[in-house]
Amino acid sequence: MKFDRLRLRNFKPYADTDLRFEDGVTVIHGLNGSGKSSLLEACFFALYGSRALDGTLDDAVTTGADETDVELWFTHAGEEFKITRELRRSGDSISTRTCTLDGPDGVVEGARDVREFVGEDLLRMDSDSFRNCAYIRQGEVNRLINASPRERREMIDDLLQLGKLEEYRERASDARLGVEDVLSDKRGGLNKLDEQIAAKEAKDLHDRLNELESDLAALDDEIERFEGNREDARETKEEAESIIEQAEERESELEELSGEIEELEASIRETESEREALLEEITELRERIEERESELEALADDAGIGAATADAVADARETIDDREADLREQRQEQRDEVRARESEAESLANEARRLREDAGEKHERADELEREADGDEADLEEVRADLEEVVEEREAIESRFADAPVEIGEADAHRETLREELDEVQAEIEETVGTLASARDRVEEAEELLEEGNCPECGQPVEDSPHVDSLESDRERVEELSAELGRLNGRKADLKAEIEDAEALTDAESRAQTLAERREMLEARVDELEAEIEADRAATEELREEADELEAEAEETEAEAEETEAEAEQARNRVGELDEELDDLEERRERLDAVADALDAIDDDEDEIERLREKRESKAELADERRDRLEALRERRDELREQFDRDRVEDARTQRDDAADYLEKVEAKLDSLAERRDELTGQIGSVEKEIQELEALRADREELAETVADLESLHEETERLEQTYGDLRAELRQRNVETLERMLNETFDLAYGNDAYSHIELDGEYDLTVYQKDGTPLSPEQLSGGERALFNLSLRCAIYRLLSEGIEGAAPTPPLILDEPTVFLDSGHVSRLVNLVEEMRGFGVRQILIVSHDEELVDAADELVTVEKDTTTNRSTARREDAATLARAEAILEGDD
């Protein structure tokens, strides 16, 4: 096998690393803690999964990350493979999400299937064997030496597939043991069966059965005999019982007969007395009929019929019925008449009442209208007086205007003209007053200045002043203005008087207007009242005439009503007469009824007599019949009395009681015999069952004996098989031990080359002994640390050789992985290690991965991988040095030499 490529993501300190591996020796170097061991671990993990880890899956995942991918490409037996493992965190724990192995024959999926494929199909070693042989971890150099011989043996056996033989032998042994178990079990069963059979045979079952059966036959005979006796007794008993029964029957019949005879005699006596009573009744009835007939004549007279017969009564009744019908008809007619007249009279009275009411109403209405007309006439007088007053006042106003300066209708305008003129005069007065005042002021001022000697105009001394002359004209002006003011005031007084007159005229004018309107209104009122009065008077007259007419009509109607009432009274009287006549008829009918009743009563009595007579006769017949029956019964009684034999019945009773006694006893005997018989049959049954069981046991035994024989031969076979596997393994192991010993000696010689040791011995039980030159044996644990490391490497090397040479087909040799193998070695032995490594390459180990700082080893490497850790991110990277770097490294080393 050869690793081709490893890709890591978040595996331990690696963030992202992709590394190719080549054939030959690859040395991995780097500082402590840079991630070298982790790189190897990743390869191991890819192959075997969690079993390759010291801790849990958690440890594989970079601290703080949630997932890890590891991919490993490798070649094995010329085929290419790739393993992918993906770990994912879910919740608190890490688990494998995918695990696949791609190979030429398809994909293997699942962590377990991949592990088994790698361990069993490819490398033929599980993770432990891998660790023991191919993957030598830091500090585990002594693992193989420290192991016990047994562990060593198992490991090497496993590697060389001898384990399989042991497994087969063990399986054969297991099978043998299983067969032994079954065999001893079956043998035990056989013994038990033999014992059971012997016990049963000792019981003489068949003899016992014969004995029981003859007992049973004897018993059956006895039972039969007793049953015959019982039958006889039963017959005797039955016969006796039937005789007794007959006798008892006769006795009871006799008793019955006597009772019946007595009854009959009594009933015949009773019937006779009944007949007597009937005869008496008939006689009584006859007497009553005679009495009634004697009364009948008088009744017929009362009813007014000649003969007291049913026909005469019927004829009389018919006449009465006819008459009654006639009278009832008449009475109905009269009653109708009464009703008709009464209602007519009432409606006439109502009509008269209504007419009188109408007349009264009309009279009232006429009185009312008359009163209204009187009232209206009084009003008319007043209105006319008002009208006269109005006309007079108007005339007075007209005469006043005759002297006035204006016509009626112009007074208002005239007064306005005067008022305007007064306003103008007033304005002129005010103006004149102002002008006059200022003129007077000027004059006064000038006079003062003048007195002081100055010009009133300019204040210059007066003498010679031009202005002094105007004073005079001013004085004139004052005078003129005063005169004008006097005139204006006179005019104002005149105008005021004139306006007063004009105002009086204006009032009169508006009064005249009011009067004209009032007159018109009053005139209309007069016309209206006159018309109303006339209409009311005419209506009054008309109403009174109508009322008079209505009263006359009412009187007539009242007379008519009275007449009709008299007619009704007449009809009522007639009804009364008819009622009386009908009552008479009723009386007559009652008398007829009396006659009829008497006749009926006589008839009824005669019928009753007839009925009683018949009854009497039938009773006579009944008595005769009973007498006949009595005769027959008496005869039968005598007959029975003669037949009865007392002695015979007594004998029968004794026989019956004896038989009953015997039956009781024989029943008890038979019961006890039956019990005995059940017992016997039960015993026979159980003996027969036991015989069957015995036969069954014999059959079982035969079968079991066959099985035991089969098992015995099987046991021999498994023993042989076990032996064969054991022999085979011992033989193969002996051969392997010999070869391994030879190879171990060769490699150790090569690796150590020390003259102190002569050879190493590996015995059949894989016990290792090192012999010194002088022949003293030494246990490997006693070697020095370096020697042990070399010894261990030699042993592994030898195993590798054995694997590659001893197994046919593709040698399952994985890359040899060494983590710091040089720790205990001095420089001389490092060179020997280099030789050893080369030697291994020689016998087919294609790839050797070594973690080492040793320069000599680095020098010997075909490939160099540098691992570094970034001190800031704490993440590791691994990279292959190219050939140039290698050459340089070599050159430097050579330079050092």
Annotated binding site for ATP: 12, 32-38, 138
Contacts with ligand ATP by CB under 6 A: the residue count is 15
User: Is residue 6 classed as helix, strand or coil in its secondary structure?
Assistant: strand
Question: According to the binding rule CB under 6 A, does residue 37 interact with ligand ATP?
Answer: yes
Residue 460 binding Zn ion, by CB under 5 A: no
- The reply to whether 12 sits near ligand ATP by the rule CB under 6 A is yes
Helix (H, G, I), strand (E, B) or coil at 566: helix
Contact of residue 13 among ligand ATP, Zn ion, none (CB under 5-8 Å per partner type): ligand ATP
Contact between 866 and Zn ion by CB under 5 A: the answer reads no
Query: In 270-354, which ranges are E strands?
Result: none
Strand ranges of the sheet holding 777-778, from the earlier edge strand across to the other edge: 757-762, 768-772, 777-778
Q: Which amino acid is at 374?
A: D
Using rule CB under 6 A, residue 176 touches ligand ATP: no
Binding-site partner at residue 30 among ligand ATP, Zn ion, none, CB < 5 to 8 Å by type: ligand ATP
Q: Which stretch binds ligand ATP (CB under 6 A): 30-38, 426-434, 637-645, 723-731?
A: 30-38
For the chain, give the longest Cα–Cα distance.
234
Partner from ligand ATP, Zn ion, none contacting 35, C-beta within 5 to 8 A by type: ligand ATP
The reply to whether 59 sits near ligand ATP by the rule CB under 6 A is: yes
Evaluate the CA torsion angle 529, 533, 539, 543 in order and state its sign.
positive
Cβ-proximal residues to 323 (8 Å cutoff; 6+ apart), any chain: 585
Partner from Zn ion, ligand ATP, none binding residue 129, C-beta < 5-8 Å depending on class: none
Judged by CB under 6 A, the stretch of 60-68, 189-197, 309-317, 759-767 that binds ligand ATP is 60-68
The residue (of 35 and 49) whose beta carbon lies closer to ligand ATP is: 35
- Among 33-41, 117-125, 166-174, 553-561, the segment contacting ligand ATP (CB under 6 A): 33-41
Q: How many CB atoms lie within 10 A of CB 244?
A: 17
Q: Which is nearer to Zn ion, 40 or 316 (CB)?
A: 40
Binding of residue 32 to ligand ATP (CB under 6 A): yes
Residue whose beta carbon is closest to Zn ion:
37
The site partner of 98 among Zn ion, ligand ATP, none (C-beta below 5 to 8 Å per kind) is none
CB of 32 to ligand ATP, least distance (A): 4
d(CA 38, CA 41): 5
Least gap, CB of 127 to Zn ion (angstroms): 20
Neighbours of 752 (CB within 10 A): 20
CB of 878 to Zn ion, least distance (A): 13
DSSP 454: B
Pick 135 or 757: Cβ nearer Zn ion? 135
691 SS3 class: helix
Side chain identity at 733, as an amino acid letter? Answer: R
- How far is 800 from 811, CA to CA, in rounded Å? 9
CA–CA dist 598, 296 (Å, integer): 7
d(CA 715, CA 177): 9
- Burial class from Cβ neighbours inside 10 Å (0-12, 13-18, 19+) for residue 696 reads exposed
Question: Could you tell me if 796 and 133 are in contact, meaning their C-beta atoms sit under 8 angstroms apart?
Answer: yes
Residue from 557, 195, 187, 531 nearest 353 by CA: 557
Q: Closest distance between ligand ATP and the C-beta of residue 742, in Å?
A: 36
- Residue 50, binding choice from ligand ATP, Zn ion, none, Cβ under 5 to 8 Å by partner class: none
| 873 lies in the site for ligand ATP, by CB under 6 A | no
Segment contacting ligand ATP by CB under 6 A, of 28-36, 71-79, 324-332, 369-377: 28-36
Smallest distance, Å, CB 78 to ligand ATP? 32
> Using the rule CB under 6 A, is 139 a contact of ligand ATP?
no
Q: 849-858 burial by CB neighbour count: b if 16+ within 10 A, else e? A: bbbbebeebb
Helix runs in 149-204, H state only: 149-159, 162-201
Q: How far is the CB of 40 from Zn ion (least distance, A)?
A: 9
Residue 34 binds ligand ATP (CB under 6 A): yes
Q: Which residues are annotated as a binding site?
A: 12, 32-38, 138, 455, 458
Cα–Cα dist 332/579, whole Å? 11
- Can you tell me which of 9, 37, 142, 356 binds Zn ion, judged by CB under 5 A? 37
Exactly one of 13, 119, 456, 780 binds ligand ATP (CB under 6 A); which one? 13
Q: What is the spatial distance between Cα 590 and Cα 587, in angstroms, rounded to a whole number? A: 5
Query: What angle separates helix 827-842 from helix 785-806, to the nearest 10 degrees?
Result: 0
Planar angle of CA 739, 744, 749, nearest 5 degrees: 135
Q: Cβ closer to ligand ATP: 34 or 847? A: 34
Binding site, annotated residues for Zn(2+): 455, 458
> 372 with 507: CB under 8 angstroms?
no
Q: Residue 197: CB partners within 8 Å, gap ≥ 6?
A: 694, 697, 698, 701
Two tokens at 241? Answer: 């019982």
Query: Which residue lies nearer to ligand ATP by CB, 38 or 271?
Result: 38
35 lines the binding site for ligand ATP (CB under 6 A): yes
868 strand-pairing partners: 877
Residue 17 or 747 with smaller CB distance to ligand ATP: 17
Q: Between β-strands 768-772 and 777-778, what pairing exists: parallel, antiparallel or unpaired?
A: antiparallel
Partner in contact with 12, chosen from Zn ion, ligand ATP, none, beta carbon below 5 to 8 Å by kind: ligand ATP
In the bound state with ligand ATP, the residue whose beta carbon lies nearer, of 62 and 564, is 62
Task: Check binding of 63 to ligand ATP (CB under 6 A).
Answer: yes
Q: Does 821 bind ligand ATP (CB under 6 A)?
A: no
- Which residues is 411 bridged to in the sheet? none
Q: Are 27 and 881 a contacting pair, CB within 8 Å?
A: no
Residue 737 beta carbon to Zn ion: minimum distance, rounded to whole angstroms: 36
Q: Using CB distances below 5 to 8 A depending on partner kind, what does residue 488 bind out of Zn ion, ligand ATP, none? A: none
Shortest distance in whole angstroms from residue 85 CB to Zn ion = 22
Among Zn ion, ligand ATP, none, the one that 62 touches (CB under a kind-dependent 5 to 8 A) is ligand ATP
Determine whether 440 is exposed, middle or buried from the number of CB atoms within 10 Å of its CB (0-12, 13-18, 19+): middle
| Residues contributing to the site for ligand ATP (CB under 6 A) | 12-13, 30, 32-38, 59, 61-63, 867
| Residues contributing to the site for Zn ion (CB under 5 A) | 36-37
